[in-house]
Structure 1
Amino acid sequence: MAAATPKGLARRQLLAEAAGALLMEHGHEAVRHRAVARQAGLPLASTTYYFNSLTDLLAAAVEYTCDVDAREMTDRCAALPAQSRGARDTAAALAQVFVGEAASSSRLTTRYELFVLAARHPELTAMIMRRQDRVEQIVADVLTKSRRHSAGEGVHRLIALENGALLGSISVDQSQWTDPIGALTDAIADVVDVLAPALPQMAGPTGN
């Protein structure tokens, strides 16, 4: 197949990235053959050549979006200094990694639209679950870097609270949508010590 050649693979990837860009900024309704071809700068026929259906094109967009979202979270986590943090500082670190400074409301809205898409299109479920697994590992890494327990149940509950707070934040009137990181920090600061308590401080060497 031509799609398996280096040129074909490159074109397919370009179309997937274009579809992902449209999904992230405008939602799944924007992922249409003509719009994707225009975004990619390729002929309209290329979308139907490399993707058997609109569902296949949407699946490529979802996979690309999940990968970008998780990689950006991973990069923010990697840039986070490892140090002991109090509850509020830990909440702020989690919020910063979870959201990012430059995230737009449409980009964050798409994150939650993916869950609805997975419910309606079971073929997308595995992609969303893989992203969730990566997010759980990232949140656990933030807690470890903050010298806190990162047990699975605590991580699950923190992510659930983060998702709820962020979804509530982006659901308000856009003129009020100013500080999702602050809203997320406020929402989880009071439960950090319960769900991810600080690790015992290591005793330093003692002199004779």
Structure 2
Amino acid sequence: MKRLFASLSLLPLGATALLFALPLSAWELDPERSRVSATVMQIAPDGPIPRQHEVRRLSGSASTNGTLELPLRLNQSDVVERLGPLPPWLSGLTERPMATLTTQFPPERLERLEVGESLVETLTMTVRSGNNVRQESLPVRFTKRSSAEVQVTNAERVALDGQALMADPTLRSVMLLLGYEQIGDEVPVRLDALLVR
């Protein structure tokens, strides 16, 4: 199992550290079929309660050398839906990037895949959030579904550090808005994205 430390980039609930490995400029994430889901274990007086969250509409295109820069916004998550309409002074925050994830993948490896074949690549993810910069390694599986589609998923189980999530002031504020005063030590996350051209 891979355990990652939380950062704002994993907004909300860290989903994002997994996502973003686009290998070619001709490839881009299909926003309608690209998401990260997370399971948060809420610690309540009656016992732990599992809660599901998602970051959806992931989008981005890779440069010719396989570099992807992906801004992550609050409005891509289900947090806004769960909170309901926000006051006007807060609505602008949902559009602004809260974090930016950058990674690089060797484009030639994806091109050499035959339909039905997979490859696992350990990617270095750089996450920038305000003045904070973190790097994490993440094993990602690429499976070629057709000449125009590649499925991107976790290559192994990944869990974010729940206590580190709650220690981040921005993420803690979001968690408190959602009603979480205390969460479990691990927040498992799952990537399910589709590259298309």
Name the TM-score class by shorter chain.
under 0.3
> Which one scores higher on RCO, CA 8 angstroms, separation ≥ 6?
2
Structure (1 or 2) with the greater strand fraction = 2
Report the structure number with the largest CA radius of gyration.
1
Structure (1 or 2) with the greater helix fraction = 1
